[in-house]
Structure 1
Amino acid sequence: MADPDPSSARSHRGSQGSSGSISDSGGSSQDPRPSILGDPRASILGDPRPSIFGDPRSSILGDPRSSIFGDPRPSILGDPRPSLPNGPGRASQQEDSRGSLGPGPEGSHGPYLPNDPRLSRRDSRPGATPGFQAFGPELPEPQPRELAVQNAKAYLLQTDGQSDLSLYEHLVNLLNKLLTERPAAPLASLEAVHRAVQKERCQRPPDPLRDQPERLPAYQTAARQRALFVRDTPDGDQEPEEEPGDTPVPNVQETAFFFGQAGVGLGSDETLRIGLALKQLTEQQPVQTCRFWGKVLGLQGYYLVAEVELRDGEEEEGDAEEEEEEPALGLGPEEREEAEGTAAAAEEEAAEADEPPKPSWRPPPAVPREETRTGANKFLYFVCTEPGRPWTRLPPVSPAHIVVARKIKKFLTGRLDAPVVSYPPFPGNEAHYLRAQIARISAGTHISPLGFYQFGEEEGDDEEEGLGGRDTFEENPDFEGLPVVELVDSIANWVHHAQHILPQGRCNWINPQQKVEEEELGEEEEKGDELEETEQEVGPPLLTPLSEDAEIMHMSPWTARLSSQLLPRYAVAVMRSNLWPGAYAYASGKKFENIYIGWGHKYSPGNFCPALPPAPQVEYPSGPEITEASDPTVEDELALKAAQEQALAAAEEEEEEGEEEDEEEEMDD
C-alpha cells in the first residue's frame, strides 16, 4: 500500500537512501521500482547520473522528489518508480534507486540492456514462456501510483478521428526537436517549435524519384516586379525625385481616377505597377514624352503599350535597321532593277536559243513607308507583356502592313515573334500586325474636345500639304474647357487629332509611279501623264468633328454619357467608340485622355468572312491549229501506210494514162 502522506513517504525514502542499500554496495539485485519509460536513473543521453533536467534521480516524466514544475512533492503522473513484487534475489521495496543494475564496484554501472533477465518477469512453472510471468492470483494488484501512471499514459496515447497522431507522440517529437536544435531561449521559442513540428508532419516527404516542384509563378512575378519598387543607390539612400515638369513620366494614377469614375480601368494595383513600369522605360530610353496608350489582350498573354516620342536624333539608328527588314506589297527600286536585269538577260538567252518570248509584265511599284515623326509613324511604341519585364520597341508601320491588316482579323497570341497565318498573306510577324492595329486604332479613336488644339498661323501649309490639309497642330493656350453637358449632348464638340489613314496605307498620299519615273528616267517632263493616270486619295483633314464620321448600320459610331447622373456638376464626360470596342476618352475641364483596352478587333455589322482567293486565270484558247494529235496505234499506221501506197499507185496510173494520151495526140498530128 502507498503511504497516504507524501511528505512522510519522501522522508522515509530519504532515510533509506542515506543508510545505503544492497545496490549501493555493489550487490546483484536491481531497483524494484523501474519507470514505465525505462530506468529512472538513466537520462536520454545514457548517463544515469546527470539528468537533462539537472537532477540525477529524476525521470523524464518527473521525480517524486523534484517535479518538472518545481514542486518538491510527487509529480502529477505519480512516482515513476513503482515497486515490483519481491522475488527471490530481489532487494527490499525501499531500496534507493541509485544502486547499480549489475555487479561491480560501488558507484559503477553498466549500459542499459533491454533484454536483461533481471528486469523480466519469469514464470517458474514448467513449460512457461521465458521472460514472461503468467498472470495469476499470486501476483499482487498494481500499486495506485503505477496504475495512475498507466492511465495517464493511456490517455496521452489516445487519438481522435481527425488525426492519427497522439499527444504523447507529439510531445516526444517536440522534445526531440528542442534537444536537437537547442535554441537559446527554449521557453520563448516553444510555440514556434510547436508550429514547426506540426508543419513538418503535414508536409509530405520529397520523392527522390521525382523532381522537386518549381516555384509558383506568383513568386517569380513578385521577384520581377520587386525591382519596380526598389531603387538601389551606392550610398543606400533614395535618390531625390525629379521635378514634375522635368520628368516625362505620365500621371497614370490621375488618368485611372477619371476613367474609374466611368467604370473603365485596370484596377489600382495594376495601374500602380504600370506607372512604375513607364517610369522604368523613361529611365532606360531617351524619352521626351510618354503616355500609356492602352492594353491589348491576347490568347496567351497581353501587351501593355506605351506611346513615346524620343528626343531629336535618337531614333535614326533604329529606323535604319528597320528599313532593311521592311516588307512591301511590290518591289522596291533595287529589286525592280534586279528583276529587269534578269528579264533582259533571259530575253537575250531566249533569242539565242530561239525560245518563245518571256512576258513583259512588271509588278507594281512598292509604296514607301512614311518617315519618322510623320503620319502613321508620328510616335514610337514600346510594349511589354507584364510590368517588370523588359520593354520592346515595335517596328515602324508600313503601308503593306496596314493594307493587309484591313483584310484579315486575327487574335494576338502574346508573343511578338509568332507568325501571322492568314489570307491574304501578312508580310510580317505579330509585332508588325500589332503595330498596324495600333496605327489603325489611334487614327480612328484619338479624340479631344473642340478648341483644345488649333492650327498654327504659318502660311502656305495647305499648298504644301496638297488636298490632304495640314498635318501639324498645337495646343490652344486660351482654351478654357467646355461644360461636360455640352460634350455629352453633341458629339460635334469632339474632334479627331490623329490623321486619317488613306486606302493606300499612308496618311500623306504619294504617287509611287512618279517616284519610279524619277528614279528611272530622271526627266520632269514625263511626270504629268502619270499623275493624271493615278487618282490622288483624299481623306478627312485634321481636327474633323466626330459628327462627320460614317454611321455603322444606322448606328452612331460614338456613344457619349456622363460618369454620374446624380451629380452631373462634378461628373466627367465619357466617349465610347462603337467602331473599335474598347476605346474610351474622357474630358473634364482642361483635361482629357484616350485609352484602349480590348482585343484589337474592329466592329463589323456582319460576321467576318475571309477574302476568297481570286478566280483561276483562263487558259489559252485551244484550236485545231495548235491542238496536239494523239499517237496512232499500229493498226492506224498500217492503214495509213496502205492508204498512202494506194494513193501512190493511183497517182502513178494517172501519170501513165496522161503519158499515153499525149503520145496518141502526137501521132495524130
Structure 2
Amino acid sequence: MPGLQEGRVEESLAFLQKTSSKNGQSVFDHFVDVVQQILEERPNQAVDLLETSYLVKRSKGRSDSGYEIEPAQPFPVEDAKQGLKNLLGKPEVKLDAETGEPLEDAAVNEYECEDIMGNAALFSLVGAGLGESEVYRIALAARRLGEDAQHGVASLRFFGKFFGRAADYFVFEATLREPPATIGEAAEKDGIPVEQGTGPNAASYFVCTELASGPFTRLPDVRPGQIKVARRLKRFLTGCLDSEVSAYPVFPGKEAEYLRAQIARIAATTLVCPAGAFQASEEGALEKVEGFAAPPASELASIESWAHRSAHLKKQGRTVVWRKEPEEGAEEIPPTPEEAEEGPGALATLDKDASVEGGPAWGILRSSINPAVKHQVAGVRSNLWPGAYAVARGGVFASLYIGWGVKHAPFVPMPPPVPAEEYAQELLESVELPPKPQPPPVEEAEAGDGEDAE
C-alpha cells in the first residue's frame, strides 16, 4: 500500500481525518463508526465492509420517522479509534518504567513438538481422534505453550482430552529443560519415596480448559499414595482443578492431583509403540531406534507387534518396587505382597497384558480391510481404558486418549472402617448399687456455737 509506507503513516492519517462529506464527517470518523457498528452488532459476515458502511451511513442521524436513533448500549468510541490507529499506524512500543528505554521482546523458546495435524489425520483414518477444527486449535495452543519461555518446554506432544461435567481438560505432555523442584524424598506416610524424574514422573503435564486464550497449568508430580487411592475411586471430573475430591476413601489432594494420578495410570498402560521402535540404553532409558520403519499394516494387525513404552505401574504406586532396608543387625523382614509384585517392564509386548472381562486387553484397528489398498494405517484400541488409541504408518506412530478418565473395570466400593470400641474394657452388667459415699469429716465447732464469750 503506497499510502502506508514507512515515513508516510502520519501523512496518511492526516489525509483520512480531513473533512470530505457534506455533514462534516471525515473518512477516519466514518471508519470509526464502521468499527463501532461491527463491535456492537457482531454480524456473522463482518468482512462485508461496504454493506456495513452503508448500514452505518443509513442509521447515522435520523430515522425514517424523523426521530434521533440512539443505540441502547453504545460501544466506547475511544476504543474503536484506538483500534483503528493500531491497525493503520505503527504498533505502540512498550517502555521500561524505570529507564524509559524500549523493552525487548521476549525470546521465543525453542522446542520440539510432534506433528499434531499429521497424527490427527492418521487417527481419523481408523475412526478415532477429534474434529479438524478442534485439532487445529490444539496445534495453535501447543505452539503457544511451547514458545512461552516461562514454561521452559524442551519437547511437547498432545496427550489427550479429558471430559468433565463443567469443562474439559486438554492435556499436553512435555519434558522441561530444567528439572522441576522435587516434592520430597519420602513424602508418603508409609515412607514410600516418590519417583523423581522417572516412572510416572518422567514427564510433566500441562492442562487448560480453553484452547484460545486459557492459561496453562502445570500439574504437580504424582505420589504413590495418590495412585493407590485413585485406584479405589470411580468418579467423573468436574473441570475445576481446585475442586475437592468428594469420595471415600479420602483422596490426598484436590482434582488437580486426582487428574494427575489418572494420567499416570493411563500413560503407563496405553502409551504404546510398534515393537522394535525403542531400545533400552545402558542407563536404562529408552532411546528411539534410528532409521526405524514400522512393518506394514498387515503385520501390525496383531497385538504381538505392539509394545509398551513404559514399565508396569505396580500396586505400590511405583514402576520400581521399593523395599525398606533393614536396620543394622536386625533380621531381614520378608517382603509384603506389594513388595513382591512383579510385572512386565518397558518394551513388553501387548500380548502379555491381562485380559479384560474375559476378553483381550486390546483391539485391532485398520483403515481398510482390503489388502490391495496401499499406505494403510494400523492401530490398536485399549479395552481397559476406553478412549485410548495408538496408530502407526511407516516410521510415524502416535498415541492419544479421549475419554472420561474412567477405567473399564467393575467398581467395588471400599467398605467403611470398623467402628472403634466405645470403651477399652468390656462392659459388665450389675444390679448392685454403688457404695454409699462417706460423709465429710466433722469440723470443729465454730466460734459462737458454744458459751458466750465475755
* TM over 0.5, shorter chain: yes
1:475 aligns with 2:278: no
* Residues in 1 aligned to 2:238 and 2:266: alpha-carbon distance in whole angstroms: 19
- Find the partner of 2:173 among 280, 299, 307: 307
Who is 1:610 aligned against? 413
* Residues in 2 aligned to 1:278 and 1:371: alpha-carbon distance in whole angstroms: 25
Q: Is the 8 A contact 1:443 1:499 kept in 2?
A: yes
* Residues in 1 aligned to 2:173 and 2:349: alpha-carbon distance in whole angstroms: 24
1:550 aligns with 2:374: no
1:434 aligns with 2:246: no
1:615 CA drift (Å): 3.0
Q: Is the 8 A contact 1:411 1:599 kept in 2?
A: yes
Who is 2:201 aligned against? 377
- Find the partner of 1:286 among 143, 152, 165: 152
1:539 CA drift (Å): 1.3
531 and 275 in structure 1: CA distance in 2 versus 1, 3 angstrom threshold? same
**Aligned partner of 1:538: which letter?**
E
**Aligned partner of 1:578: which letter?**
N
* Residues in 2 aligned to 1:199 and 1:412: alpha-carbon distance in whole angstroms: 56
Who is 1:589 aligned against? 394
**Aligned partner of 2:314: which letter?**
L
Q: After superposition, where does 1:470-619 map in structure 2 within 5 Å?
A: 471-488=284-301, 490-512=302-324, 514=325, 523=328, 525-526=329-330, 528-531=331-334, 535-566=339-370, 568-604=373-409, 606=410, 608-617=411-420
* Residues in 2 aligned to 1:213 and 1:583: alpha-carbon distance in whole angstroms: 50
Please give the secondary structure, in 2, of the residue aligned with 1:486: helix
* Residues in 2 aligned to 1:533 and 1:297: alpha-carbon distance in whole angstroms: 37
Q: Deviations over 1:347-367 (max 9, x none)?
A: xxxxxxxxxxxxxxxxxx331
- Find the partner of 2:218 among 393, 401, 425: 393
* Residues in 1 aligned to 2:431 and 2:297: alpha-carbon distance in whole angstroms: 84
548 and 628 in structure 1: CA distance in 2 versus 1, 3 angstrom threshold? same
Output the TM-score relative to the length of structure 2: 0.70
**Aligned partner of 1:486: which letter?**
E
**Aligned partner of 2:304: which letter?**
A
**Aligned partner of 1:615: which letter?**
V
Q: After superposition, where does 1:11-30 map in structure 2 within 5 Å?
A: none
Structure with max Cα Rg = 1
Q: After superposition, where does 1:196-275 map in structure 2 within 5 Å?
A: 206=72, 247-275=111-139
1:191 CA drift (Å): 6.0
Q: Deviations over 1:327-377 (max 9, x none)?
A: 63x2xxxxxxxxxxxxxxxxxxxxxxxxxxxxxxxxxx33121112x1111
1:275 CA drift (Å): 1.5
* Residues in 1 aligned to 2:237 and 2:220: alpha-carbon distance in whole angstroms: 17
Q: Is the 8 A contact 1:572 1:586 kept in 2?
A: yes
Q: After superposition, where does 1:326-337 map in structure 2 within 5 Å?
A: 328=188, 330=189
1:431 CA drift (Å): 0.6
* Residues in 1 aligned to 2:23 and 2:187: alpha-carbon distance in whole angstroms: 70
**Aligned partner of 2:58: which letter?**
H
1:547 CA drift (Å): 0.9
480 and 251 in structure 1: CA distance in 2 versus 1, 3 angstrom threshold? closer
Who is 2:275 aligned against? 450
Q: Higher RCO, 1 or 2 (CA under 8 Å, sep at least 6)? A: 2
Q: Is the 8 A contact 2:108 2:147 kept in 1?
A: no
Q: Is the 8 A contact 1:511 1:531 kept in 2?
A: no
Q: After superposition, where does 1:123-134 map in structure 2 within 5 Å?
A: none
* Residues in 1 aligned to 2:160 and 2:340: alpha-carbon distance in whole angstroms: 34
Aligned length: 364
Q: Is the 8 A contact 1:327 1:427 kept in 2?
A: no
1:397 CA drift (Å): 0.4
1:205 CA drift (Å): 6.4
Please give the secondary structure, in 1, of the residue aligned with 2:374: helix
1:425 aligns with 2:250: yes
Larger relative strand fraction:
2
Q: Deviations over 1:536-561 (max 9, x none)?
A: 22211111111111111222111112
Q: Is the 8 A contact 1:327 1:428 kept in 2?
A: no
Please give the secondary structure, in 1, of the residue aligned with 2:113: coil
Gaps of 5+ in 1: 1-177, 207-211, 215-230, 331-364, 462-470, 638-669
Q: Deviations over 1:109-153 (max 9, x none)?
A: xxxxxxxxxxxxxxxxxxxxxxxxxxxxxxxxxxxxxxxxxxxxx
Q: Is the 8 A contact 1:250 1:275 kept in 2?
A: no
- Find the partner of 2:161 among 276, 295, 302: 295
* Residues in 2 aligned to 1:436 and 1:453: alpha-carbon distance in whole angstroms: 25
Q: Is the 8 A contact 2:310 2:345 kept in 1?
A: no
301 and 204 in structure 1: CA distance in 2 versus 1, 3 angstrom threshold? farther
* Residues in 2 aligned to 1:597 and 1:198: alpha-carbon distance in whole angstroms: 54
* Residues in 1 aligned to 2:107 and 2:192: alpha-carbon distance in whole angstroms: 49
629 and 412 in structure 1: CA distance in 2 versus 1, 3 angstrom threshold? same
Please give the secondary structure, in 2, of the residue aligned with 1:282: helix
Q: Is the 8 A contact 1:449 1:587 kept in 2?
A: yes
Q: Deviations over 1:16-47 (max 9, x none)?
A: xxxxxxxxxxxxxxxxxxxxxxxxxxxxxxxx
1:265 CA drift (Å): 2.4
Output the TM-score relative to the length of structure 1: 0.49
Q: Is the 8 A contact 1:446 1:496 kept in 2?
A: yes
Q: Percent identity?
A: 37
Q: Deviations over 1:142-187 (max 9, x none)?
A: xxxxxxxxxxxxxxxxxxxxxxxxxxxxxxxxxxxx987767899x
* Residues in 1 aligned to 2:154 and 2:126: alpha-carbon distance in whole angstroms: 30
Who is 1:414 aligned against? 239
Q: Give the aligned CA root-mean-square deviation in angstroms.
A: 3.9
Gaps of 5+ in 2: 1-20, 31-50, 76-90, 95-101, 437-454
* Residues in 1 aligned to 2:107 and 2:257: alpha-carbon distance in whole angstroms: 39
* Residues in 1 aligned to 2:202 and 2:348: alpha-carbon distance in whole angstroms: 19
Larger relative helix fraction:
1
213 and 511 in structure 1: CA distance in 2 versus 1, 3 angstrom threshold? farther
* Residues in 2 aligned to 1:614 and 1:575: alpha-carbon distance in whole angstroms: 41
* Residues in 1 aligned to 2:381 and 2:64: alpha-carbon distance in whole angstroms: 53
1:478 CA drift (Å): 4.8
Q: Is the 8 A contact 1:562 1:568 kept in 2?
A: no
Q: Is the 8 A contact 2:187 2:193 kept in 1?
A: no
